[in-house]
Amino acid sequence: MISPAGLVLLTTIVLARAFPQNAASPPALVAGVPVNYDESRVGAYTLPDPLVLASGSRVTDPKMWFRQRRPELLRLFEQHQFGVSPGRPPALRFDVFDKGTPAFGGVAIRKQVTIRFTADADGPRMDLLLYTPSGAKRKAPVLLHLGFTANSLTVDDPGVRAGEIWSRDRRRVPASMGRRFGTLDVRKWIERGFGVATVYYGDIEPDFDGGSQWGIRGALPGSWGAIAAWGWGLSRALDYLETDRDADARRVAIMGVSRLGKTVLWAAARDTRFAAVIASCSGEGGAAISRRDYGETIRHLALRYGYQFTPDYARWGGRVAEFPVDAHLLIALVAPRPLLLQTGDTDHWSDPKGEFLAAVAAGPVYRLLGKADLGTTTPPAPGQPILNTLGYHMHSGGHGVQPGDWDVFLKFLEKHLGPAR
């Protein structure tokens, strides 16, 4: 699991120049835009009804949701927030260079795969690292983790090939020049019957303005943003898992933190093959309600990270009440699949209350589809997770994942996906 020290490094280095989450006196301005942390100043707002079509007709059954409302919402998110992603490229191929090596004292089998997105040998590619339980009688469900650094720095296993990372000066350098941000506790998941896979988001596209020329958007240009590109890469990882004899591709859960929490939400909205989602501290542009003027806003995101979204997204910063979509609709697009939102009670920049309220507002869709929503309109105390099909967990602390959160994630997926048998 990721150590607390590793999480501090991750937040400091990867989210460079981001808001200091637990500052005693947070700045009143970020990127020249005011920041509100006063609930009394949030203001009134009205959310779009997830079960009312653009025509004004009410969605009354699952068939109407899947045939009419869901496609309608997907198009709105594509047009106004994330952009339109391409499908599976015809030249996609998988080069398995580690075909099954015992790892972690023999309890796991390790595989490593280079996923090539185009026919160009020097074109964009992504390394996938996969562990499955040794001696499993059936295919294992898999936690697919989207990480901020190379696989060799994410897992403590000397057998993992050292990849490459993007440096602060925007160069691709050997992973050996990077620093470990902590490690995924693969053994814990393996011993509970799960497989674990991880990919580095920088393999798909580097995380800086102008980085698209070195990523998949350079090969497949369009109006889609970096978040859509990273999510597209997760779908290509699932394409490989569908070919692996030890992984149950029908039970793959995706997990990401912060901007990668936004990514896994959008990836699951687009690709219904993903069986479950764990979105950590996804905040504005993810699971937090945009119409709540609290913490980060669309204006902050568009000014600082505009490359992550479709160009149209920026124009809603000053017109958020007219924004055609909002976070509860993104959550609803994951339904009826299991979704766990993880937050921190002092991560005010990401608005943990706004994430809870968005989940409440998405509840009618889960109920329409026969699944359990949060079951409450009262936010739980830290350390008291709601593990329904639509779930919510808040730890005591700030932005990111704490060691105890991983136990909650495992319990959630055991409940909804079940271990290998």
% helix / strand / coil in the chain, to the nearest 5?
A: 35, 20, 45
The total number of residues shown for the chain amounts to 421
- Catalytic residue, from 258, 280, 290, 350: name it: 258
Q: Work out the percent of the chain whose per-residue pLDDT is above 90.
A: 89
Token pair for 250: 């029908």
Domain extents in the chain? 4-16+50-416
Q: Which CATH class is domain 4-16+50-416?
A: alpha beta
- Known catalytic membership, residue 258: yes
- Alpha carbon distance 163, 66 (integer Å): 41
Neighbouring residues of 419: CB distance < 8 A, sequence distance ≥ 6: 140, 141, 192, 193, 194
Of 235, 167, 231, 154, the C-alpha closest to 196 is: 154
Please check whether residue 96 is in contact with residue 332, taking contact to mean a CB–CB distance below 8 angstroms.
no
The whole-number pLDDT of residue 168 equals 87
For residue 409, which amino acid is it? F
Indicate the pTM of the whole model.
0.94
Beta-strand pair 108-116/93-103:
antiparallel
Q: What value does the mean pLDDT of the chain take?
A: 93
84-129: per-residue pLDDT in tens?
999 999 999 999 999 999 999 999 999 999 999 999 999 999 999 9
User: Is position 80 annotated as part of the catalytic site?
Assistant: no
Residues 26-70: tens digit of each pLDDT: 789 999 999 999 999 999 999 999 999 999 999 999 999 999 999
pLDDT confidence of residue 24: 58
Write the pLDDT tens digit of every residue in 289-309.
999 999 999 999 999 999 999
**CA–CA separation, 360 vs 62, rounded Å?**
19
pLDDT at 222 over 80: yes
pLDDT value for 181: 64
Which listed residue (300, 328, 399, 416) is catalytic?
399
Bridge partners (DSSP) listed for residue 82: none
Q: What is the predicted pLDDT for the residue at 418?
A: 85
374: pLDDT strictly greater than 60: yes
Phi, psi of 339 (to 5 degrees): -140, 125
pLDDT digits (tens, 9 = 90+) for 318-365: 999 999 999 999 999 999 999 999 999 999 999 999 999 999 999 999
pLDDT over 50 (residue 22):
no
Residues of 38-77 as b/e, b for ≥16 C-beta within 10 angstroms?
eeeebeeeebbebbeeeeeeebeeeebbeeebbeebbebb
Q: What is the pLDDT of residue 179?
A: 73
